[in-house]
Structure 1
């Protein structure tokens, strides 16, 4: 087995298209067998079985402190051909599913000695890819089956999908998105829900006050998790808050959320329970009787889905039609060049006029 230092040397990768070497975050290094990478803590043996199935070599990407991402729109907004592609600040195209690291830099105050840093000040932050802004209705999502996984609007039976306004809510009630480098494996049955994964990255609800934009990458603090059962599939919902939100420094647990934002967590359960009812579907069900699980449990789930993703991009499990093309995953057979990634984007339609949206989207539903 390679030492930690040898792994860094082995996978020191160039930033795509720049010719410069990356500064690799230790949070993405593979630790000794039997435990997860620094910052997440131990995962229960039952949930970490998938870790033993993943190869020992790490998947090192190109995270840098304060990494910023840009987006590029293609096609016609509010139409089936509309896409939002991602690229680095240097203009190199990437996949938000595979190339954006799961964790952000550890948040610390530069003028406070490490031995005096409080627990919440050294908390691990996660990158969240925002798909849907709060109060909007278009069901935007990472296109997991398309090269470079742009954000697109979901289509069903030839029509663009919009979530209904369930009184008293307007559209989504939080910024909604996903954690990159995670995957809810449809071949893995969760021991708690007794259902397999939904074949997507794990979902996140940002309860911060800022209304974000599709394609925005924000850093969030994890607060808890909800086990939704969507048509027989496990569909975890992570509850988090934008680390830059004014309230983030005061919210560390679900109890903090209940105390400062009474009714918000219950509204979240009600929203997920009923949001498909206007489409003629039954109410969604939940594990744990609809009770939220605390932060430590949420991190176990995130760790597990990260390990499933590792196996996915290394072709150690059945991808089931998912597109795993990436520009930076070390030892991934799906890795491509910056030029190949650019060709994918250039093949998409150029940005055109915005299409109108039906007034039916604004209809209220009482269920």
Structure 2
């Protein structure tokens, strides 16, 4: 979708801001550029829509060399969100969102429908917000409108330059969550610049950590945390601090083999005996295809037996679980605080992948702190 090939940006005074950048961002991917001030992250972002012109190499968007495209038309095909929001103060919310569709010549009926759709998606009732001016809204709401404006023409690529940097922590966290929801729903290709490593770890499919115009490491948040390529990466992530243990890191870091797995149609009496012999207090219930149907607990089984129930499928607990695709360490920690029993980890097809335990969480934390 977006491809940098040996891209360079050298200013007239000789300053080399970006030095031989090679990067491929896939369609639908959320990539975060991060690094210290002056590392070239914002310059790299702005070269994609030609707000900055590269002085070497090539950038391709959807297979086309951007230098062969009209820069104005290129920008209308790419969503762009900045920290200052950049809303036109004398235009209503609807007019601000409709800016690019109007320039593209969309019919009024189509524009109105798109504005209503986006406001609804962002949880901003159209009857309340559509005709407000930016000054009548909070900073967080204005920034939300800035994001919607970038999405209005349904671009395939959205560029975001520290869009939440000026917001208070609560607004920032809320907008980050909304952006993740929007990305999951719309599958846009997002390239996002930030100076905040916590934000990068929370949002990114992949992180591009830059230094002095070059890439130090590209990888998933887990890869940068667990396998830093250089001392600089390790120090930038903060490996000697508790903050390195990101609550947004994937739960797969804690995945263990299932301690005890029971067939869906097993008899309660047999399972009770087996659990007592093995000194376990819980087990995972699956069918012949290893699809997860629920957890069972020793205390629950004993009660079920007293009530005359025969099969474990009559005693299933199904609400306490995490999905491998989006479960994170914070989710697991909260569940383990609430109840010490192993947490089943399943995939979107309901297949059992493993478990997370309190002991595993403690071991993971200790290993991070003593690295």
**TM-score scaled to structure 2, two decimals?**
0.26
The one of the two structures with greater contact order (alpha-carbon pairs below 8 A, sep at least 6) is: 1
TM-score by length of 1: 0.26
Structure whose CA Rg is larger: 2
